Amino acid sequence: MKRFYTPVLLLTLLAACVLGCRNTSVIIATGLRVELTAITNNADGTVSASWRMVNPNIASYLLSSTSHKVYLNGVLLGTITDHEPLGVPASTSVDRASKLGAGDAAASRTLAEAMTKGSGNYRVDSQIVIRIYDETVEKATLTNSGTVPVAAK
């Protein structure tokens, strides 16, 4: 009977090591999502996006930076990079508006088509940096899609 204790102990130790080495950012960011609320083609030729960070969890988050790739009707419209810290309270959402980085000619055509329709299908691929404590951070990747109103100002 004593011969079986060593293998069982080793298997338990191995299982604990494997479970302890999993990606914690997936666990920490579970439920967080980024939604686009509006895309606006401004009079000065720039494009801005209003977006919302939704937190359905019972814990608050402090995001030290975010970056988003915004796709409209399957075409990369541009990118948003925001290095301003963003506090997201528990069970709520926070809205932000940001300018999109320059897109190409296909993005301009797609934006014009969406403006004539008044809306478009979006996908946003986000990279967020969650500040946990002092200098400790976790990086997470989020993806969301839906329909967004598109207008000109």
| 85 within 8 A of 112, measured Cβ to Cβ | no
pLDDT for 39-82, tens place per residue?
Answer: 999 999 899 999 999 999 999 999 999 999 999 999 999 999 99
Rounded to the nearest 10°, the torsion over CA 99, 103, 109, 113 is -30
Residue 10: is its pLDDT beyond 60? no
Write the CB contacts of 106 (distance below 8 Å, at least 6 apart in sequence).
75
Residues linked to residue 68 through DSSP beta bridges, in sequence order: 80, 126
Q: pTM of the prediction?
A: 0.79
Spatial separation of the C-alpha atoms in residues 80 and 47, rounded to whole Å: 11
All structural domains of the chain, each given as residue ranges with its CATH number in brackets, are: 23-152 (2.60.40)
Helix locations, the chain, DSSP H: 5-20, 24-28, 105-117
In the predicted structure, residue 9 carries a pLDDT above the cut 70: no
